[in-house]
């Protein structure tokens, strides 16, 4: 089960991910002359903002379409798997946004981020936290069960306690780890969100029912996440953190 990313689709249906990333950029507080790794850089929207602060930035992402989009922005973007980072004490900071909950071996990614940092370096980021898209996840499982499938979800949303323990196991010193409820407006609607983010779940269903299953999921969610004007809001909860080595 793998998530497939398309840069143009992501820009159309998920631009809110980078648009809402300013608070975690503020936490990073990049400085001129620093060397920073953007772990899971996507199409480079936030990487570019870090570079504009005067830092030298390396973007890392496993998705070729994202890397191509980041390169088109003039960024140093490399196709790399967060679970097997090749860096050794190269960076003043590692930054990550909306990525860690997608990584199967989170502990390997945290260890790689630690290895990538110079002594005294900092690790700052945000990902989905416990309770993120809980209604959406429940609806997806309910629809999958209707079709005889117990679906595997492609994401994992840690609690602050769990994530703190993982940071410590990777030899970080946690500074702050907090959950932040962030209901998020979906300008493109719920069906577009499901197609962009939940593709691996629908791929587990028989091919002939996948489109109707998206409609079923939207119908289940309509009463709780769609207002009387037809505007959709996803039940996002973010886990924001800072740590040092």
For residue 4, the model assigns a pLDDT of 72
Give the three-state DSSP class for 183: coil
Domain positions in the chain are 7-130+154-184+235-244
Q: At what angle do helices 210-225 and 190-197 cross, to 10 degrees?
A: 130
Share of the chain above pLDDT 90, in %: 91
pLDDT at residue 79 greater than cutoff 90: yes
For residue 7, the model assigns a pLDDT of 66
CA-angle at 156, arms to 154 and 162, nearest 5°: 165
Q: At what angle do helices 190-197 and 134-146 cross, to 10 degrees?
A: 80
Query: Which pLDDT band holds residue 16 (cuts at 50, 70, 90)?
Result: low
Q: Which residues contact 179 (CB under 8 A, 6 or more apart)?
A: 129, 130, 131, 159, 160, 237, 238, 239
The closest alpha carbon to 192, from 2, 5, 12, 1, belongs to: 12
Report the pLDDT averaged over residues 187-212: 94
- Host H or E run for residue 125: strand 117-128
pLDDT at residue 44 greater than cutoff 80: yes
Query: Which pLDDT band holds residue 52 (cuts at 50, 70, 90)?
Result: very high
pLDDT at residue 189 greater than cutoff 60: yes
pLDDT at residue 184 greater than cutoff 70: yes
> The tokens of 205 are what?
């269903």
Query: Which pLDDT band holds residue 170 (cuts at 50, 70, 90)?
Result: very high
pLDDT at residue 15 greater than cutoff 80: no
**What are 123-151's pLDDT values in tens digits?**
999 999 999 999 999 999 999 999 999 98
pLDDT at residue 240 greater than cutoff 70: yes
**What are 17-36's pLDDT values in tens digits?**
777 788 999 999 999 999 99
CA distance 115 to 245: 9
CATH number, domain 7-130+154-184+235-244? 3.40.50.150
CA distance 213 to 205: 9
For residue 164, the model assigns a pLDDT of 98
Chain-wide mean pLDDT for the chain?
94
Q: At what angle do helices 106-116 and 160-169 cross, to 10 degrees?
A: 50
pLDDT at residue 13 greater than cutoff 80: no
CA distance 63 to 65: 6
């Amino acid at each position: 089960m793998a998530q497939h990313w398309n840069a143009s689709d992501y820009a159309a249906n998920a631009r809110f991910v980078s648009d809402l990333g300013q608070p975690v950029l503020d936490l990073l507080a990049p400085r001129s002359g620093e060397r920073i790794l953007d772990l899971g850089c996507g199409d480079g929207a936030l990487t570019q903002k870090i570079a504009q602060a005067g830092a030298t930035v390396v973007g890392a992402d496993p998705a070729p379409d994202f890397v191509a989009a980041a390169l088109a922005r003039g960024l140093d973007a490399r196709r790399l798997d967060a679970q097997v980072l090749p860096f050794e004490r190269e960076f003043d900071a590692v930054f990550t946004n909306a990525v860690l909950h997608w990584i199967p071996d989170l502990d390997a990614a945290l260890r790689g981020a630690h290895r990538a940092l110079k002594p005294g370096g900092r690790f700052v980021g945000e990902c989905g936290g416990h309770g993120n898209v809980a209604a959406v996840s429940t609806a997806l499982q309910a629809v999958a069960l209707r079709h005889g499938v117990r679906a595997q979800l492609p994401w994992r949303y840690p609690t602050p306690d769990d994530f703190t323990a993982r940071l410590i196991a990777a030899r970080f010193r946690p500074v702050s780890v907090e959950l932040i409820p962030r209901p998020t407006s979906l300008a493109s609607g719920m069906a577009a969100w499901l197609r962009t983010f939940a593709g691996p779940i629908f791929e587990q269903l028989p091919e002939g029912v996948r489109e109707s299953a998206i409609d079923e999921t939207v119908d289940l969610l309509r009463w709780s996440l769609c207002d009387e004007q037809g505007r959709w809001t996803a039940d996002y909860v973010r886990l924001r953190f800072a740590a040092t080595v």
